[in-house]
Amino acid sequence: MEQTLGDAKKETLENSAPPKGSNSPNRAQIINVTYIIVALDITWMFVQIAVTPYLAKKLDFDTLWFGYLQTTVGVIQLLGGPICGRFGDVFGARAALSLSCVASIVFFLLLAIADTPAMLFMHKLPVFFMHVLPGSQMVLADLTEPENRANALSKIGICFGVGMIAGSTIGALLMYTVHVNGLIIVVSPPGENGQRNRSIFSLAEITRLLKFPGITRIFLIKIISGLPSVIFQVMFSIIGMNFFKLEPAQSGYLMAFFGIAQMVIQGFVIGRVTSRYSDGSLLLFSIGVCASVGLAQAAMQNVFHFCLIVFPMVFSLCLFNVITDSMLTNSVPSSDTGTLMGLCASSQSLLRTIAPTIGGFLYENYGVPYFGMIQCAVNSVLFVYLFKYGLKKQETKHE
């Protein structure tokens, strides 16, 4: 039975893959343009991240209302992720990515004219459709073979690093910005959903993917292992200001250091290790490194200590995200990768929605070292579980 499902999946992937030969240069060009779009989108998103707090302060937002604003974004993205992913499966990656770009244009135009608290909340509404990263992942999943997919997805991190550095720098100089994001025209391979429900709001079609072997398990791993890291990330601005005593300029330098670390690791490390080792082994390794990083975070006392663990931290996060995304997309037919990427985006939005509350409680009651302790404990337990049970089950299934 499993072999039959595997053969059917393989046939689906082969039938849905873009034709090779004469179309290979066109495919390579589309992939390169996709990377450019990601870099531009991340650049302007970091401009927005830098500008919004100052705009909120100008509009007399206190910390509580600014938290409401951030939570609103998380909830909207949580709801929009699966819908946009399903939209991509029904109408193609080209349409999904174009829709995300149009939503980005509206988002930044509304930000440019936001002069009241209500307008500042209203400009967040297009976030429902703003899923450029999942849309780009859809394109890459459609245009790459399964064995090359992890390498292709890892290069998105280079674009993220470029955007982080450029966006943080530009955002420090601007108070208002208008975003003009080009619409990407990509060739989407034909899906096999002609006989299926084509409604983008079909809950059954969205949740159907969770029934594929291994999908729910990988999602749980992403959420359990990722939550401690997300908590630390959302609280990092507070940690930098109060615990490390950083000035705004120093925080900007540290963000640039993050961007450089991510570019180096995504560009020169992740692709090489994914081509040499199995996904299961790399998943286990990334969780082990993440546990070690948590232990180091619990012991750090100053920003110099933190800089020493930036590279292993970025390495574990990048490797974990690339491997889990690759395992997920390789577990479903190519016609369902859009919905799957939408679910991945929603899982991240879910974490970023609940993380500020958990992080604030931990920071106020226990202090910074507990962020690292929790990350170490959670990932250590997960590492032991996967080492003793998870990998053995996976190997038995493949046999």
Q: Is residue 5 part of a domain?
A: no
Burial class (CB in 10 A: 0-12, 13-18, 19+), 247: exposed
Burial 24-62 (b: 16+ CB within 10 A, else e): eeebeebbeebbebbbbbbbbbbbbebbbeebbeeeebe
Total number of domains constituting the chain = 1
Whether the Cβ atoms of residue 76 and residue 127 lie closer than 8 Å to each other: yes
Q: Assess if residue 4 is contained within a domain.
A: no
Q: What's the pLDDT band for 359 if we cut at 50, 70, 90?
A: confident
Domain presence at residue 31: yes
Inside any domain, residue 190:
yes
CATH code of the domain in which 213 resides: 1.20.1250.20
Report field, pTM of the whole predicted structure over 0.85: no
| pLDDT tier, 238 (very low <50, low <70, confident <90, very high otherwise) | confident
pLDDT at position 297 is: 92
Residue 3 lies in a domain: no
Does 213 map to a domain? yes
pLDDT tens, position by position, 86-113: 787 788 777 888 888 888 888 888 887 8
Query: Which of 14-28, 59-73, 134-148, 292-306 shows the lowest mean pLDDT across its residues?
Result: 14-28
Please report the pLDDT score of residue 50 as a whole number.
Answer: 66
Structural domain contains residue 9: no
pLDDT of 373 > 70? The answer is yes
Residue 369 included in any domain = yes
Task: List the domain range (segments joined by +) for residue 237.
Answer: 22-398
Helix (H, G, I), strand (E, B) or coil at 186: coil
